[in-house]
Amino acid sequence: MITGQDRLPYWRLSGFYFFYFAFLGAWIPYWSLYLENMGYSAKAIGLISSIVLGTKIIAPSIWGWLADQKNQRMKIIRQGALLAFVCFLGVFIDFGLGWLVVVIAVFSFFWNAILAQFEVITLSHLDNHHRYSQIRLWGSVGFIATVAGFGYVFDVVSIDYLPWMLAILLASIWLSSLFVVEKIAPHTEESTEGLRSILRKPAVIAFFVCCFLLQVGHGPYYTFFSIYLEDFGYSRAMIGQLWGLGVLAEVVLFVFMHRLLSRFSIRHILLVTLLLACLRWLLIAYLVDNLLVLLFAQCLHAATFGSFHAVAIELVRRFFKGGHEGQGQAIYSSVSFGAGGAVGALISGWYWDSSASSTFLMASAVSLLALLISFFWLQDAKLVEKP
C-alpha cells in the first residue's frame, strides 16, 4: 500500500474515485429499470442511455484540450462536477421524453468532462504507474457499495427514489474534488510529435478501434442487463449482487494488476482480455438462466473492464507524451466509453425487443473482431515490451 500522504494524497484521490463510481453503481444497473418503471420503451431507454455516452464523444476532448492549454485541471474538474449536479436537478422539473433528453444531454456534457482529466491528475502524483490500479480500485469499491446496497433497497422501497439518490452522489463527487490538490509537475519538453502525427500511427489507430469495439460489446450489458435478469426471474437484490460480483472481481484484479504488468507484455494481456470478452457475452446470451454459469461470467468482468482499462491507461501514457497527456486520455474516453458505448446502447435498443439474446451474441462478435485486430495490427514495440 502507498504511504506518505505529503508525497501522494492516496485517500483524497481514492475518495474521488469512490464517489464517482458509486454514482455509476447506482446509474448503470438501475436507471434503465427506473425508466422502464416510468413506462418508457426499450428504444427510448436505448436512446436516453446513448445520449449519456454520446456526449462523452465530444465533452472529454473539449475539456481535455482546454485543460492542456490552461493547465488548470482541478479547476475544470470541480466546475464540471458542480455543473453536472446542478443540471441533473432538472429531472425533478418534468419527466417528458423531450425534456429528459435535454436535461440528460446537458448534465452528461459536464459530468463526462471530469474523469479523463482526473486520470491525468492521478498519474501526475504517481512515480510508479503500476500503482494506479491500487488507487483506482476504490472506484470499484464505491460501485459495489451502491450496486449491492441499492439492490436491497429497491426490493423494499420504490425505485422512484433513484433520482434523489443520484443527486446526492453527484453532490458527493463535487465535494470530494474540493480536497484534491493538483500537483505542479516539473517542466518537461514539448513532444517532438504533433497530436495528429501520433494519431496516424497504425498501432494507435488499431488500439482505439479495439477500445471502440470492446465498448460496443458492453452496450447490451450496461443498458439492458438488469432488465434481462429481471425477465428471467432474478430479484433486484440478486441483480445488485450480480453486478457487485463483477466489480468485486475487478477489485481483485486491480490489486494484482501491477504484478501482471511486470510479468507479461501489454499485448499478451490485451489478447487474453479480448478472448475472455468473447466468452463472457456468449455465456450471458445463452446460459443466463444457469446461476453458476452467470456467476462465472460476472467474474470475467475483471478482464472485460478491469485488465483492459488498466492496459489502456498504460498505453495512453506511453503513446501521448510531452503536453498531449490530457488530450490522450480524453480521446480514449471519447472513442471507447463515448462512441463505442453510444453505438452499443443504440444497437441494443433497436434489437432488444425482437431478440435479447442476439444482442449479447452481437457483443461477442464485435469482441472477436477486436481480438483479430489486436492480434494482427497491435505488434508495436510499446505493446510487446513490459512496462
Q: Looking at residue 369, which CATH number applies to its domain?
A: 1.20.1250.20
Q: Would you say residue 185 lies in a domain?
A: no
Q: Would you say residue 221 lies in a domain?
A: yes
Q: Which structural domain, as residue segments, surrounds residue 141?
A: 10-180+191-384
Q: Which three cell numbers stand for residue 101?
A: 433528453
* CB proximity list for 4: less than 8 A, separation 6 or greater: none
Return the C-alpha torsion angle 13, 18, 24, 30, nearest 10.
-170
Within 13 Å and on the Cβ side, how many CA atoms surround 204? Answer: 16
User: How many whole angstroms separate alpha carbon 107 and alpha carbon 84?
Assistant: 5
The confidence score (pLDDT) of residue 115 equals 87
User: How many whole angstroms separate alpha carbon 114 and alpha carbon 49?
Assistant: 19
The confidence score (pLDDT) of residue 257 equals 86
User: How many whole angstroms separate alpha carbon 66 and alpha carbon 328?
Assistant: 13
Q: Which three cell numbers stand for residue 297?
A: 461470467
User: How many whole angstroms separate alpha carbon 179 and alpha carbon 171?
Assistant: 14
Q: Would you say residue 241 lies in a domain?
A: yes
The confidence score (pLDDT) of residue 2 equals 42
**Taking phi first (over 0 means left), then psi (-120 to 50 degrees means alpha), and beta for anything else, what does residue 386 get?**
beta
Q: Would you say residue 5 lies in a domain?
A: no
pTM of the model: 0.78
Domains held by the chain: number = 1
Q: Which three cell numbers stand for residue 203?
A: 498501432
Start-to-end CA span in the chain (Å): 20
Element (H, E) at 188: none
Q: Would you say residue 4 lies in a domain?
A: no
Closest CA relative to residue 159, chosen from 83, 242, 240, 244: 240
The confidence score (pLDDT) of residue 19 equals 96
Q: Which three cell numbers stand for residue 7?
A: 508525497
Q: Would you say residue 200 lies in a domain?
A: yes
When computed from its CA atoms, the radius of gyration of the chain, rounded to whole angstroms, is 20
User: How many whole angstroms separate alpha carbon 372 and alpha carbon 359?
Assistant: 20
Q: Would you say residue 2 lies in a domain?
A: no
Phi, psi of 157 (to 5 degrees): -115, 165
Mean per-residue pLDDT pooled into runs of 10, the chain (387 residues): 57 93 92 90 85 83 77 88 96 89 93 85 73 83 90 90 96 95 61 78 92 94 91 91 91 86 88 96 95 97 92 86 76 88 87 86 96 87 57
The confidence score (pLDDT) of residue 4 equals 42
Q: Would you say residue 14 lies in a domain?
A: yes
Q: Which three cell numbers stand for residue 231?
A: 425477465
The confidence score (pLDDT) of residue 6 equals 47
User: How many whole angstroms separate alpha carbon 55 and alpha carbon 60?
Assistant: 8
